Structure 1
Amino acid sequence: MSTLSRVSNTMPTSLSCIDLTVTGALDAATVLGIRQESAKAATDGPILVLLDVAAVTTVGASGVVGLLEVLHLLRARGGDLRLFGSSAALEITRLQAHLGQVTRIYGTREEAVDGGLGPGRARHLAPGFRWHRLFPRRRRTLGWS
């Protein structure tokens, strides 16, 4: 049994934001709750959804796919979904499903709010990120066989 709870917002950001906490399983039912809360909050404009995943114990495939759908929904409206907290279950899934190429899991809420760009912090690229995929080089042939 998993629970989703709303947390009071204590830190200002350039986007309005809501805090959600997932406890237990991250599955289709939980993601449905995240999607509903996110869509309701995004009706007034772009929103930053901060999702605390520290208490996630299991992750289903439907949970991963559902998070990607929520992420797409929010980004299409000018917002974002940022996960934070240390969950072994989600960390293992992130590596297996290559979620690191789409989003990253921040260590703390503060890092999630500022996107890892706070004073003195360098932003790290997602594991497996390859610049050449964004900027492919042309291969030149010199006419040699």
Structure 2
Amino acid sequence: MSLVVGVGARRGVTAREVCDLVAAVLREAGRGPQEVVALATVGAKAGEPGLVEAASLLGVPLRAHPADVLARVGVPHPSGAALAAAGTPSVAEAAALVEAARCGVFGAAGSELLVPKRKSASGAARVTCALAVARGNGRLPAGGLGYTRGDAVFELRTRR
């Protein structure tokens, strides 16, 4: 199972603000940073230095998606502020879901929010994050033992 962190941010957000919120969201989900495969955001924020640096610090790519693509994603917490600023009613939740769908083999049917949008603790809430899971990506669960005999649906028989 791979995790994608969707991030919405105001201009001038620092990597520290982003990483602090990402860490809090991962703790809330009981997950670790090693499970994150990407940070995702809206195209207009792809060059935001704080987001670029945060992705680098986490060791994952920053993936950007067009606002019109994000606007078509149903999310639990749409925002008028995000719509006015970015052209989509959701950045963090929608970007997390879109990128998780891209990472998994089941597409949109294989992605779901683990943690909905959370705002940073700063008074102005300069960053928002949401956590989505990409299911069916062919990777074994972290700490898993792999497949066992009980997982087999058939047995291979050797020729004599």
Higher relative contact order (CA 8 A, sep 6+): 2
| TM-score exceeds 0.5 | no
TM-score interval, smaller chain: 0.3 to 0.5
Q: Give me the TM-score of the superposition, normalised by structure 2.
A: 0.31
